[in-house]
Structure 1
Amino acid sequence: MVTERGLQVLRAIVQDYVETHEPVGSRSIVDRHSFGVSAATIRNDMALLEDEELITAPHTSSGRVPTDKGYRVFVNHLAQLRPLSSAQRSAIESFLGEPADLDDLMVRTVRVLTQLTGQVALAQYPSFARAHVTHVELVALAPNRLLIVLVTDAGGVSQRMAVLPEAIDDADMGVLRARLSALITGQGIGEASDRLQALLAAEEKPQDAVLRTLAGVVVDELGGFRQERLVMAGAATLARREQDFRGSIHPLLEAIEEQVTLLRLMSEMVTDEHGLAASIGTENAPFGLGEASIVASNYAAPSGTARVGVMGPTRMDYPSNLAAARAVARYLSRMLDEDEAGR
């Protein structure tokens, strides 16, 4: 059984290994930390930690490094989140201030997070599945081409061009806008889609050919609102940190390219009472990402809760990365709440 001092030794090993990139020995712990005991006593504590598979020797030297199990104990019980500096907080506020739209805000979010942590930053888009359509606009591009703009109460905006089976004039467009708006404005995404699907399934009338074309385009766009989306930044950091990974980084690069795996992993992570989550090393093996760790924080959106976080090697600065994810998530929540209040 590991003693309380042994757990503090584990904390020291994790912190020193993250900082120095070198296996940590008992003498180093005595020199760098105030335990008030001899190196021999620290070696005994380290032996118990090794018996519990919390640390291991990477080679024949006396130094030890944390295992994935050791990192888990550290994150669950020993890690103390480090408050961000005033400069870091100012950077978040400055970088995220006055975005053009939701897409711009999400891109800014991952960019500032990768700058703060030096890791790959990940952010789930707010779910629009429970959102309601608040506005439909048609913009003439040509006599037989329209731009359809859909807006939801959760901040989602979609633009899609429709090629019509015949040319229309301004009066026709006004009628089409009114009919579409009557069908879906104020409806939830699912209900709006069902109404349009019913229109498409009804017996076709010649005068409704243009409306049916628009309905088909809008149904496709509403389906896009239901899909989960992920935005990322900092993939290049993986190449710079390749030596920090025990094996190949190719599975991580594939996950970044495909996104589906990362979306599943981010969605299934279990958060603590503070909305923070960490999935470490071998815990990610079912997703093919056993070489990586992900830390994340929940953020609040009008349509529900989503997550923002970072992905990197298991040898990462968990307290700092969790603190950065939490700070960015809180600011993102505030921005979305203010945007909702201003509607």
Structure 2
Amino acid sequence: MTNNRRMLVLRAVVEDYIRSQEPVGSSSITRGHDLGVSPATVRNDMAALEDEGYLVQPHTSAGRIPTEKGYRYFVDKLATVVPLSAAQRRGIDTFLSGSVSLEDTLQRAARLLSGITGQVAVVASPSLARSALRRLEIVPLAAGVLLVVVITDTGRVAQRSVSQPDAPDADCVARLSDAINGQCQGMSLEQAGARIAEIAASPSFADDGAQGLGATLAQVFTDMASQEQAGGLYMAGASKLAQRPAVDIADLAPLFDALEEQVVLMKLMTSLSEVSSQAGGVSVAIGSETHTPGLLHASVVTSGYGKSSGGEANAAKGSEPVAFVGSIGPTHMDYVTTMAAVRAVARYLTGFMNREEHGESA
């Protein structure tokens, strides 16, 4: 679409329909927008936009509403991600800075985003596969049973109890822990797993019976690293979405079913957060673009947060996010507000991850 005036007419229709959820006519466009042309000219432009698939006329005598193609053009070409005001940013900082842990921060982020948009907010916790080792602790629980505590640079804390009947003495366990923390800090969990096996097999531990424990720890790290979707999902706002005016209840049932399919949702939103092809690092999937039957009448706005780390093996992935934050709502959602809010929350969480990585208090 190359006609500049026609582009402005499309933007006016989308903005008015988002605000009113009523079909938009040419007269209301000329009254509400300074286009400098007559209603007849606008009417001709709207007819052309309908022929091109950007608008549709639900009833013969009614105005027009945007199609999925119209929303896509609006998001790609017309919508701009307007930064939040200083007061709004301070509000986000104040609300989220009171959290006491990573989990609390992510729960608060979901509630905050839902409150801003009036839609479903989804926040994923960082996957272990994209986290790097900050510290390992090994705690004896009982004879032959050890608790392995892995603390990552993203703030995740993962625990596994392991049975190790031939565990070495406490002094050897402490020395092995120190060696692992000294040599593996900053490595991805996959890298650390491989290195741990080498450390335990080194001459320094040859006579201490550490090889068995080293093999167990290496397997624990490998298992954790394979859990690409290990991070949990924090959701909020389903009731807000159901209470919104002009939301078709018939469209909500499949949407809520889709929200129950967390594996599908994780895959979709992780993929979107990695693309970040839209302005401001925010990705939008509209209707059929989600490839999810329950979201055919919904849009998903997503941004990644944090940054994967883990040495040379992950150098090519260094710009990938460790997790995502997103909003799900009807296709007639307020894209400008939603995109700005998602980006702002993602940026806060990225800052939080950076503080976690450097061991600073949030």
TM-score, normalised relative to structure 1: 0.82
Q: Which residue of 2 aligns with 1:290?
A: 296
Residue 44 of structure 2 aligns with an amino acid whose one-letter code is N
Provide, for residues 201-248 of structure 1, a one-character-per-residue CA deviation record: whole Å limited to 9, x for no partner: xxxxxx779948964883476246543535232233343349525853
Between stretches 114-123 and 178-187, larger displacement belongs to 178-187
> Structure 1: which 5+ runs fail to align?
201-206
Unaligned runs of 5+ in 2: 201-208, 310-318
Displacement of 1:69 in angstroms is: 0.3
Aligned partner of 2:242 in structure 1 is 239
Give the equivalent residue in structure 1 for 2:312: none
Q: Could you tell me which amino acid in structure 1 is paired with residue 57 of structure 2?
A: A
Count of residue correspondences: 337
Question: How do 1:1-343 and structure 2 match up within 5 A?
Answer: 3-141=3-141, 146-162=146-162, 172-179=169-176, 182=179, 186-187=183-184, 188=187, 189-194=189-194, 211=213, 215=217, 218-219=220-221, 222-223=224-225, 226-227=228-229, 229-234=231-236, 235-241=238-244, 244-245=247-248, 247-269=250-272, 270=275, 271-272=277-278, 274-285=280-291, 289-301=295-307, 303=309, 304-306=319-321, 307-342=324-359
- Distance in 1 of aligned mates of 2:35 and 2:87: 33
SS in 1 for 2:295: coil
Is the 1:126–1:305 Cα contact (8 Å) retained in structure 2? no
Using the alignment, how far apart are the partners of 1:81 and 1:191 within structure 2?
38
Equivalent residues of 1:302, 1:337 under 8 A apart? no
Residue matched to 2:206: none
Amino acid at match of 1:312: G
Greater alpha carbon shift after TM alignment, 291-300 vs 212-221: 212-221
Structure 1 residue 290: Cα displacement:
1.8
SS at match of 1:260: helix
- The whole-number CA distance in structure 2 between the counterparts of 1:292 and 1:152 is 35
CA contact (8 A) 1:298 1:329 kept: yes
Identity over aligned residues, as a percent?
Answer: 41
- Write out per-residue CA displacement over residues 52-103 of structure 1, whole angstroms, 9 at most, x where no aligned residue: 1111112233211100000011111111333424442222101221533322
Question: Which residue identity is paired with 2:150?
Answer: L
Deviates more, 1:330-339 or 1:142-151: 142-151
Query: What SS does structure 2 have at the residue aligned with 1:129?
Result: helix
1:245–1:217 distance in 2 versus 1, CA, 3 Å: farther
CA distance in 2, matches of 1:183, 1:300: 25
Q: 1:137 is matched by which residue type in structure 2?
A: E
TM-score with structure 2 length normalisation? 0.78
Question: 1:328 & 1:70 partners in 2: Cα distance?
Answer: 27
